């Protein structure tokens, strides 16, 4: 079996640079929302959010990604004022406690990006790939921050009714979409050294469409940018586990449904082992950064994957 050697890359952020490719960086997820698919509002209160963010840093997390608006399937947009009221106090408080920490703002709003960077964030993580707010490319160029551009197909309120890709279409369409996002960034005057690309697992990809994307993720490296992979607790993992009761993969925890169109599922909190398997696969397929809910297990998995890559 041949694993992917990740290219070395110096990622330019707002005030510093980070070496990518030498070892996997672990980004902890901090959703300051009442309706996250994976945490169910556990960190909506600023105090709880700050404690969790600091805890992930103390566990060894390299970066923390803070989001104030849910992008779960079916989610409704909120105002930028509400988004900022959730995330800005958390950014400021974490930086007071851990001044050297590297924080990312998960937003597609130019106004929120500007406010979060002013509060001390180093990176803008745009799940839309510069498609939902036409002012965001120029804002990021002006801010001279690090940037993550994700591939997204449609909007959250469309995902449940979208037809799936044909399996052989997934990678070419994601690659083309990411190339377009990268071109928007370059056209806005953003240097390549600031851009990381994210395949967007689960974002407009039907459940089994995510597996060919993961299996051929290395093809996205042809775009010339480092990759971030976020497979943590994703629904495609839960669907796969729920389809395998003959192997006793938590069949009792599979959600029941009366609709033949919605397959049974394993709840997000029971997808930890599956997350580690998919995260390891993503690293071996070229991801330089992994975005996860549980930092310590991901660090251990990344250590093993990195050792495998080093042994080549």
Catalytic annotation, residues: 234, 291
Taking the C-alpha atoms of residue 149 and residue 39, their distance in angstroms, rounded to an integer, is 24
3-state helix, strand, coil in the chain (%, to 5): 45, 15, 40
Judge contact between 40 and 308, C-beta under 8 A: no
Contact call for residues 242 and 264 (beta carbons, < 8 A): yes
* CA distances (Å), origin 5, targets 21, 31, 220: 8, 32, 13
Triad 33, 38, 42: Cα angle to 5°: 45
Q: Whole-angstrom Cα distance, residue 238 to residue 267? A: 7
Give a three-class secondary structure readout of 260-299.
Answer: CCCCCECCHHHCHHHHHHHHHHHHHCCEEEEEECCHHHHH
Q: To the nearest 10°, the Cα dihedral for 128, 130, 133, 135?
A: 160
For 80, 104, 109, 129, 274, the CA distances from 83, given in Å and listed in that order, are 5, 14, 9, 19, 31
């Amino acid at each position: 079996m041949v694993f992917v050697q990740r290219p070395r890359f110096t990622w330019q952020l707002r005030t510093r640079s980070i070496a990518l490719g030498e070892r996997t960086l672990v980004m902890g997820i901090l959703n300051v929302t009442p309706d996250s698919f994976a945490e169910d509002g556990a960190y909506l209160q600023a105090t709880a959010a700050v404690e969790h963010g600091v805890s992930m840093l103390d566990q060894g997390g390299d970066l923390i990604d803070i989001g104030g608006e849910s992008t779960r399937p079916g989610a409704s947009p909120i105002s930028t004022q509400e988004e900022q009221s959730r995330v800005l106090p958390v950014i400021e408080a974490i930086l007071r406690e851990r001044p050297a920490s590297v924080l990312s703002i998960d937003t597609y709003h130019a106004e929120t990006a500007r406010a979060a960077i002013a509060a001390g964030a180093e990176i803008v993580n745009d799940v839309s790939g510069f498609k939902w707010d036409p002012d965001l490319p120029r804002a990021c160029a002006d801010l001279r921050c690090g940037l993550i551009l994700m591939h997204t197909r449609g909007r959250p309120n469309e995902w449940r009714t979208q037809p799936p890709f044909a399996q052989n279409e997934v990678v070419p369409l994601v690659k083309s979409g990411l190339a377009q996002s990268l071109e928007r960034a370059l056209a806005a005057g953003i240097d390549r050294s600031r851009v990381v690309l994210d395949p967007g697992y689960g974002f407009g990809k039907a459940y089994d469409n995510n597996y060919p994307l993961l299996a051929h993720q290395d093809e996205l490296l042809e775009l010339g940018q480092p990759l971030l992979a976020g497979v943590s607790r994703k629904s495609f993992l839960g669907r796969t586990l729920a389809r395998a009761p003959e192997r006793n993969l938590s069949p009792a925890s599979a959600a029941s449904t009366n609709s033949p169109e919605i397959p049974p599922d394993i709840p997000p909190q029971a997808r930890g082992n599956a997350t580690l398997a998919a995260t390891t696969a993503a690293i071996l397929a070229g991801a330089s950064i992994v975005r996860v809910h549980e930092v310590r297990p991901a660090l251990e998995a990344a250590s093993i994957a990195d050792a495998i890559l080093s042994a080549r």
